[in-house]
Amino acid sequence: MVSGLVNVRQPANAEKKTEENKVETGKHITFKDKDGQEKTVMTSVRDSTNGEYMLTSQLDEVTVTAKSKTVPERNGNITISFMVSVPETYTKKDWRVTIHPTLDNEGEKHELKSVVVAGEQFRNMEGRRKWYEERKLNRRINKNKKRVERRKDFYPYFYRNDSTTDVLVRELDLWTEGNERYNRSWVLDTIVKNRKNLEYYYKQDFRTEEMRRKLKLYFTAKVEDLGMATYHLRSGDTLNYFISSMTQFLDRKPRYIRETVERKVTETTSAYIHFPAGSTVVDDTLHNNREEIEKVYRKMKEINEGNEFIVDSIVLIPACSPEGSFQANKILAEKRAVSLKKYLEPALQSNAETVDLVKVQYKAENWDKLMQMLSESDIEQKEDILALIKKTQDPDERERKISVAFPAVYKKLKMEYYPKLRTVDFVFHLSRRGMVEDVMYTDVIDTEYAEAIKLMDERKYKEAMPKLLEYRDMNTAICYMSLGYNGTAVNILLEQPETADREYLLAVLYARLNMDELAVQLFLKSCKMDESKIERGELDPEIAELIKENNLYNQLYN
């Protein structure tokens, strides 16, 4: 059993706030026996559950310190970093400590790469184990290769390729890769010797669009000895990280688009009113005539009661199918229009002005509708029929050619398509009530732009960019700089009005572009315009570096 603790605490004397994660440790007990030989023993503790005494070993102190609690977002990425401090004397011991960091993204767990620190004796033993395992696997590979070669010599005509060797080689590669990955930390960026300690700088990058604003980092740790016994240290508190991004500078005022409103409006309602062949009498008992006429009444009532429009005129336009002669259909359509107007007059008596506004027109044969229906149909010969219709000007000759050239299709047209051509269009010509000008412009909130701001809050900058391009404003520049397009962001910001936010963002961008002198000028200018930019400057690494390198503390705080 190992006594220890992975714990987080705030150092009382720290100048800048950091957080620590600590593994508490102690000492071995050594003594000499009667023969003068040195012995090492471990202290024991009594288990509170079963009363048995168990061995306990304590390790020298290992401390994990967060390098920064505020994590700046750059180019759509953040870097989670901390320091692992290990006593130098520990590296000569026969132990290996493995620290497993886990990032908690509001309930979504991200297992980070482990930090592995091994003592000298442990590394030597691991090297011997590695040599032995590699040697054993290589012997299996060579043995298999010889077996395959013998088989080729004995059975050259019947031999088939043997993949066993390839499988063994892949097994060796995977073993070597796994062994290397476990026994040294690939994410330790720097090792610094500090008095009696070694400090390991750990960092790992993440895409910020996958992260929330506040992240928690906690650790588990285990210790292994030369005998491969494993001891787990209990977990302590967590480190907290806060993501700082440029979205805090977003201008959240809504954007508007101009919408054109016409004074004159036209609405059309089509009714399939059935007339007996050659008849002009409106009979509401035939087919669905009653329902179709009711549809027209409802539309009239909707316009009259809506109080938004004034009816300028209502035009009735009956149409006939191409069946029969064009001249006969022309006379028939005209008479049906007049008959339909008389039929509707009783329903319009409540509004005398409406009766006077009803006009009649007609279509002798509804060829336009037929061509539309053909183009949307699955009839194989429709392209040939459409070409014939466009080529032949005389409507009677047109129909005759179709019946001769495509008799089967013509039969289908008469049965299924022609009845749908005998429609009556009710065209309502309306004016907006109280509107004098022919055209009016209104401002409507741009919902696409609002969606772009929401996407930026979620750090989905690539999705937001197309919705912002048209505006080329401050938010567009912030989106560009968040994606790393610094030059483009500068050009857009220079087009914006001068504000403290603009000057600060330009300072950040010029610092990224190594134009430090101009960056300093703009940062100081933004601080004079808005003192809160001083505190903000300590959060952004570009500005923090400028403050340090140019010793701006006196200018900022005096």
Q: Which of the residue ranges 29-38, 278-287, 304-313 would you say has the lowest mean pLDDT?
A: 29-38
Residue 547 confidence (pLDDT) above 80: yes
**Topology given in CATH for the domain delimited by 448-557:** 1.25.40
Alpha-carbon gap, residue 310 to 21, rounded angstroms: 76
**Topology given in CATH for the domain delimited by 6-114+185-244:** Immunoglobulin-like (2.60.40)
Domain ranges of the chain: 6-114+185-244, 259-432, 448-557
The one-letter code for the residue type at 236 is G
Amino acid 269: pLDDT:
84
Of residues 323 and 115, which shows the higher confidence score?
323
The continuous run of DSSP H or E covering 352 comes out as helix 352-357
Amino acid 32: pLDDT:
45
As a whole-number percent, the residues of the chain with pLDDT over 70 amount to 69
Alpha-carbon gap, residue 462 to 482, rounded angstroms: 10
What are the φ/ψ torsions at residue 513 (nearest 5 degrees)?
-90, 10
Of residues 458 and 258, which shows the higher confidence score?
458
Amino acid 81: pLDDT:
80
- The token pair at 542 is 């570009």
Banded model confidence at residue 234, pLDDT cuts 50, 70, 90: low
Banded model confidence at residue 43, pLDDT cuts 50, 70, 90: very low
pLDDT tens, position by position, 371-395: 999 999 998 899 999 999 999 999 9
Alpha-carbon gap, residue 411 to 409, rounded angstroms: 5
Banded model confidence at residue 556, pLDDT cuts 50, 70, 90: confident
Q: Which of the residue ranges 229-243, 478-492, 500-514 would you say has the lowest mean pLDDT?
A: 229-243
Amino acid 66: pLDDT:
66
> At a CB cut-off of 8 Å and minimum separation 6, what does 103 contact?
80, 109, 110, 112, 206, 215, 216, 217
Amino acid 126: pLDDT:
59
Alpha-carbon gap, residue 275 to 418, rounded angstroms: 13
Residue 29 confidence (pLDDT) above 70: no
Alpha-carbon gap, residue 126 to 182, rounded angstroms: 11
Alpha-carbon gap, residue 546 to 150, rounded angstroms: 72
What is the CATH architecture assignment of 259-432? 2-Layer Sandwich (3.30)
Contact 115, 187 (CB under 8 A): yes
Q: What sign results for the dihedral spanned by CA atoms 318, 320, 326, 327?
A: negative
399: closest CA among 414, 379, 380, 382? 414
| pLDDT, mean over the chain | 76
> ∠ CA(210), CA(213), CA(214), 5° rounding?
110
Q: Which of the residue ranges 23-27, 249-253, 349-353 would you say has the lowest mean pLDDT?
A: 23-27
Residue 54 confidence (pLDDT) above 60: no
pTM, to two decimals: 0.48
Amino acid 528: pLDDT:
92
Alpha-carbon gap, residue 296 to 523, rounded angstroms: 69
> At a CB cut-off of 8 Å and minimum separation 6, what does 43 contact?
29, 55, 56, 57, 58
Amino acid 464: pLDDT:
93
pLDDT tens, position by position, 95-131: 777 778 888 887 888 888 877 777 665 655 555 566 5
